[in-house]
Structure 1
Amino acid sequence: MLKYDEVATKMEAQIIADGLTQGDKLPKLTELMAKYAVSKSTIVKALAKLEQRGLIYQIQGSGVFVRRPKLDEHINLINNNGFTADMVKHKMTAKVLSLKKIAPPKDMIKYFNGDVKEVYEVKRIRYLDDQILCLEESYFKTSVVPFLNEQIAQGSIFNYVRELGIAIGFSDKYLNVIELSKKEAKLLELPEKAPALTIEETYYLTSGEAFDHSKTTYHFKNAKFFIQSTT
């Protein structure tokens, strides 16, 4: 993890721990530099990261302030932290349907720019406070994520990836509204042809290399979303 990402994560945790809300002011840059024992440029980058994620706003000459937190149980469609990091006040669990190494399916290769020979295919049901949240199908390049098992997949794969020192950068999202197939409906415990939002997402490292493509199909009764603009 890059140093400014590490500092941004610690600052976010501190904001939550201190119960800060809309308009609360953060310490000055010099105080933050001393607190986290890093340079000014690292603090500036960490603040930019938090601002991008909608956690703070900056007023030139006045300081840095906390933004109103999102409504509880709503999924941030912009950030790339994963459900576990985004829903810190809730219990996130997963049931692993399958996990195996395979040659990438032909329709997946395009998302990796053709530069992939083997992937981990992971299919899971994700639960939010014991309610079905979504069906998730992910493909991780084994050249980047060399090892996954069921125990890891039952938790947060993104947390595991970060613990490996892999820096997740940005993503592309593709949203569609569909009718559930018979198989999808059974897994989500919904009627066949019920409506569902699907999000296909390609995740990239900070180097720009695509390492994960996923398709997430959400339970229309249990999934809520929000977007915070930064301009």
Structure 2
Amino acid sequence: MLKYQEIANQIEEYIRVSKLEQGEKLPSLEDLITNYEVSKNTVIKALSILEKNGVIYQVRGSGIFVRRQNRKGYINLINNKGFTDDLADFNLSANVLEVKTILPTQEVSDNLKCSLTQEVYYVKRIRFINKQALCIEESYFNKEYVPYLNKEIVEDSIFHYLKETLKLKVRFSDKYLRIGKLNQTEASYLNLNTHDPALHVDELFYLMSGEPFDFSKMTYNYNHSQFFIQSSGMDK
């Protein structure tokens, strides 16, 4: 992890641990440089990340301030780290339906930039929040970057495994959202009725190198899912 990313994480952790609220002022740029013993450029880059992610806002001549944080129980649609952190105060669990290696479909091949003869890991699971079905998740992992998965790993946080065990660094992701209706199989998994409304989210995750490694398809239960998006700037 680059130094400015480490500093960004440390500042965000400081905000969380200190339970700072919307509008509360952070230490000045000069104080942050001294406190973290890094260069001015490093702190500026860290603050830029935090501002882009909706954690802080800066007012020229006044300082650095905490931005309103996520409402409890809402999933950040901009976050590319999975939703475990957003729902940390809830009981999250997973029912793993499948973990296996398969040959990719044309759609998966196109998204992961792999050949049709190159095996990928396929994971299908139902995610639960407080024992209520939250979503159906189908994920495809390029085995070049994720060489091993099993049921025990995917019952927990896959992103934690990718980060802590495989040392993969996710740089960004692309999300594609569409509203549709549940088919019979989807409805049975989510304890809903066929043709009930659903939010479908396709997400493609990229490594620091810009290579795609994870293509996931989520179908959310409209009764138990809430989302939010923060804009990073607005010109009028």
- Both proteins in one fold, TM over 0.5: yes
Residue 219 of structure 2 is matched in structure 1 by 217
Find the residue that maps to 2:96 and give its secondary structure.
strand
- CA shift for structure 1 position 69: 1.2
Residue 2 of structure 1 is matched in structure 2 by 2
Residue 191 of structure 2 is matched in structure 1 by 189
Residue 69 of structure 2 is matched in structure 1 by 69
Residue 153 of structure 1 is matched in structure 2 by 154
Residue 95 of structure 1 is matched in structure 2 by 95
TM-score, normalised via structure 2 length: 0.91
TM-score, normalised via structure 1 length: 0.93
Residue 142 of structure 2 is matched in structure 1 by 141
- Cα distance change, pair 127–39 in 1 and its aligned pair in 2 (3 A): farther
Q: Which runs of 5+ in 1 are unaligned?
A: none
- Higher CA-based Rg: 2
> 219-228 or 8-17, which moves further after superposition?
8-17
Contact 1:2-1:167 at 8 Å conserved across structures = no
- Cα distance change, pair 93–207 in 1 and its aligned pair in 2 (3 A): same
- CA shift for structure 1 position 197: 0.3
Task: Indicate whether 1:127 and 2:128 are aligned.
Answer: yes
- CA shift for structure 1 position 144: 1.0
1-side partners of 2:7 and 2:84: how far apart? 19
Overall identity of the aligned pairs, in % = 48
- CA shift for structure 1 position 115: 5.6
- Cα distance change, pair 41–160 in 1 and its aligned pair in 2 (3 A): farther
Find the residue that maps to 1:152 and give its secondary structure.
helix
- Cα distance change, pair 37–139 in 1 and its aligned pair in 2 (3 A): farther
- CA shift for structure 1 position 29: 2.5
What is the CA deviation profile of residues 68-123 of structure 1, one whole-angstrom value per residue up to 9, with x for unaligned ones?
A: 11221111111112111222322322121111122222221111234672211111
| Pairing 1:103-122 to 2, within 5 Å after superposition | 103-114=103-114, 117-122=118-123
Residue 208 of structure 1 is matched in structure 2 by 210
Q: Which runs of 5+ in 2 are unaligned?
A: none
Residue 178 of structure 1 is matched in structure 2 by 180
2-side partners of 1:205 and 1:102: how far apart? 22
| Pairing 1:28-43 to 2, within 5 Å after superposition | 28-43=28-43
Count how many residue pairs are aligned between Structure 1 and Structure 2.
231
- CA shift for structure 1 position 186: 0.7
Find the residue that maps to 2:167 and give its secondary structure.
coil
Contact 1:121-1:140 at 8 Å conserved across structures = yes
> 196-205 or 20-29, which moves further after superposition?
20-29
Contact 1:83-1:92 at 8 Å conserved across structures = no
